[in-house]
């Protein structure tokens, strides 16, 4: 059988897109979202037992919302009525409700699936309420928008909301590999895909299975058959299909570590242009933005430190923004934090201090906690003399009094050497002033 010729299967002859042909038909074929559809999940049990109640599937494009709805349609004995919010109106809703009431009188339930339900107006959503509330229909809505904002509160309150996540690269790869191998609905093993081309398709898809399958199909159609009739997808074909050049970047290889190293060293070297460039290389290459955020947090503590104590909150805020909004929007707070850290005064005093202290703790007999520093909140502490002789700094001028804080064995040891830039210069000056009184 020639996949691309006149003898192709009915679906392929009709020009049905690969992404539609490869849509999972069973729960076993469904890839990803195991948090909500795994073997022990309540949603999976309700699907298998045909006891689904009204629900809203919320997640990014290509994460499996419509596929999951179609699986429910395959498992249920109810009448399944699909509707697209872009093309449907109030008249369509009323017609479906009337038909559903008639079926209900005959003992047949109706499941109403509304794709892109967030596109319904408030009036259209309100028209659904009576039938959802009295059980005339079981509503399954799919949306890429936050349903707690884009769907009326009355409708959301009558549904369970399931949040789907973007697929991981491994999950997208599995879907693409299945499409390459499937002789019935996929490319039938008649197409070879170079590893770098496959990796590019997976990375650029950004967790969207539909994007990956569309790109795979476009690249396969562009490939020229070899002498054996097989087609080969090269990196160039994958780039053309996605209209995006492949980055010289491998999330698990040398490019990953080299680029991250250049990123941090550019921040440490106070070069905001270079730092933003390496940030762009990582984002374009498909790097996990959470990895980038973690590197910023480390840099803020290691390289800026006390010279600008605000650097760490800025980096942490960028990491929180990544979790809250995701890419592509998260590129902006990541860039903001990167530039801030690059321009901040630098100090590694905290980094050096803790490492010196850890070396001593690991290698030396550092002694016991001095008696006057010991806690007093446990039973028998007073009889043991714990806390005896402790001087409370707030009782003294300037909230400072000289006393021993290190164990006897460690007296005179210095771990912290203050820097002379930014905020740390002021901190160091204060420390010098109070200790000169000793």
Phi first, then psi: what are they for 55, rounded to 5°? -150, 160
pLDDT for 45: 92
Domain co-membership, 310 together with 393:
no
State which of 242, 262, 293 marks the end of a domain: 242
State which of 138, 163, 188 marks the end of a domain: 163
pLDDT for 8: 43
- How would you classify the pairing of strands 191-193 and 231-233? parallel
Give the DSSP H or E segment for 251.
none
Whether residue 359 lies inside any domain: the answer is no
Domain co-membership, 237 together with 260:
no
203: left (phi over 0), alpha (psi -120 to 50) or beta: alpha
Whether residue 116 lies inside any domain: the answer is yes
Tally of structural domains, the chain:
4
Domain co-membership, 52 together with 100:
yes
Whether residue 154 lies inside any domain: the answer is yes
pLDDT for 292: 95
Query: How does DSSP assign 358-394, residue by residue?
Result: HHHHHHS---PPPGGGS--SSTTTTTTTTTTT---GG
Query: How does DSSP assign 347-367, residue by residue?
Result: --HHHHHHHHHHHHHHHS---
Closest C-alpha among 41, 120, 57 to residue 88: 120
Quick one: how many helices (H) and strands (E) in the chain?
Answer: 20, 7
pLDDT for 14: 52
Question: The pTM is what?
Answer: 0.58
CA distance 433 to 436: 5
Whether residue 16 lies inside any domain: the answer is no
State which of 141, 163, 185 marks the end of a domain: 163
Domain co-membership, 54 together with 141:
yes
Give the DSSP H or E segment for 327.
none
Whether residue 17 lies inside any domain: the answer is no
Domain co-membership, 155 together with 64:
yes
Apex CA 190: angle with CA 171 and CA 238, to 5°?
Answer: 55
pLDDT for 10: 46
- Extended strands (E) in 100-147: 110-115, 138-143
Provide the domain limits for residue 235.
172-242
Q: Residues with Cβ < 8 Å from 388, sequence gap 6 or more?
A: 371, 372
**CATH code, domain carrying 153:** 3.40.50.300
pLDDT for 3: 43
User: To the nearest 5 percent, what fractions of the chain are helix, strand and coil?
Assistant: 55, 5, 40
Ordered per-residue pLDDT tens for the chain, 438 residues: 344 444 444 445 457 899 999 999 999 999 999 999 988 899 999 999 988 999 999 988 889 999 999 898 888 888 988 888 888 888 888 889 899 999 999 888 899 999 999 988 888 888 889 889 888 899 999 998 889 888 999 999 999 999 998 898 899 999 999 999 999 899 987 899 999 899 889 988 878 899 899 999 999 998 988 888 889 999 999 888 887 655 555 555 566 788 899 999 999 999 999 999 999 988 887 788 999 999 999 999 999 999 999 999 999 999 999 999 888 899 999 999 999 999 999 999 999 999 999 999 998 888 888 888 888 877 777 777 888 888 888 988 888 888 888 898 988 888 888 888 888 888 888 878 777 765
Domain co-membership, 270 together with 310:
yes
């Amino acid at each position: 059988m020639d996949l691309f010729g006149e003898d192709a299967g009915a679906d392929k002859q009709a020009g049905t897109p690969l992404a539609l042909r490869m849509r999972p038909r069973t729960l076993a074929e469904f890839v990803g979202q195991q948090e909500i559809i795994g073997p022990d999940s309540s949603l999976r049990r309700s699907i298998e037992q045909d006891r689904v109640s009204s629900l809203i599937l919320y997640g990014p494009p290509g994460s499996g919302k419509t596929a999951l709805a179609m699986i429910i349609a395959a498992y249920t004995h109810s009448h399944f009525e699909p509707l697209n919010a872009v093309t449907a109106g109030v008249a369509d809703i009323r017609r479906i409700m009337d038909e559903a009431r008639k079926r209900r009188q005959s003992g047949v339930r109706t499941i109403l699936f509304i794709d892109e339900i967030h596109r319904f107006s408030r009036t259209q959503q309100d028209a659904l309420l009576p039938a959802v509330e009295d059980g005339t229909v079981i509503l399954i809505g799919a949306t890429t928008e936050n349903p707690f904002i884009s769907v009326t509160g009355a409708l959301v309150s009558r549904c369970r909301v399931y949040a789907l996540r973007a697929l991981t690269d491994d999950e997208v790869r599995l879907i693409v590999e299945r499409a390459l191998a499937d002789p019935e609905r996929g490319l039938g093993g008649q197409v070879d895909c170079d590893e770098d081309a496959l990796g590019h398709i997976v990375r650029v898809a950004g967790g969207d299975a539909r994007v990956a399958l569309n790109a795979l199909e476009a690249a396969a159609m562009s490939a020229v058959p070899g002498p054996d009739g097989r087609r080969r997808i090269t990196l160039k074909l994958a780039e053309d299909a996605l209209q995006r050049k492949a980055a010289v970047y491998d999330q698990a290889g040398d490019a990953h570590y080299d680029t991250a190293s250049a990123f941090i060293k550019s921040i440490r070297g106070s070069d905001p242009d270079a730092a933003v460039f390496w940030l762009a290389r990582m984002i374009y290459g498909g790097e996990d933005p959470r990895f980038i955020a973690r590197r910023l947090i480390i840099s803020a503590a290691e390289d800026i430190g006390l010279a600008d104590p605000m650097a760490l909150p800025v980096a942490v805020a960028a990491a929180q923004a990544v979790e809250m909004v995701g890419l592509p929007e998260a590129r902006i707070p990541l860039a903001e934090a990167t530039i801030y850290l690059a321009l901040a005064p630098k100090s590694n005093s905290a980094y050096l201090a803790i490492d010196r202290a850890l070396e001593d703790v690991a290698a030396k007999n550092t002694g016991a906690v001095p008696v006057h520093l010991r806690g007093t909140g446990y039973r028998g502490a007073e009889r043991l003399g714990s806390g005896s002789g402790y001087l409370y700094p707030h009782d003294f001028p300037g909230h400072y009094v000289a006393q021993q804080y290190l164990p006897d064995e460690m007296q005179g040891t210095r771990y912290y050497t203050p820097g002379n830039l930014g905020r740390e210069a002021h901190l160091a000056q204060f420390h010098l002033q109070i200790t000169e009184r000793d």
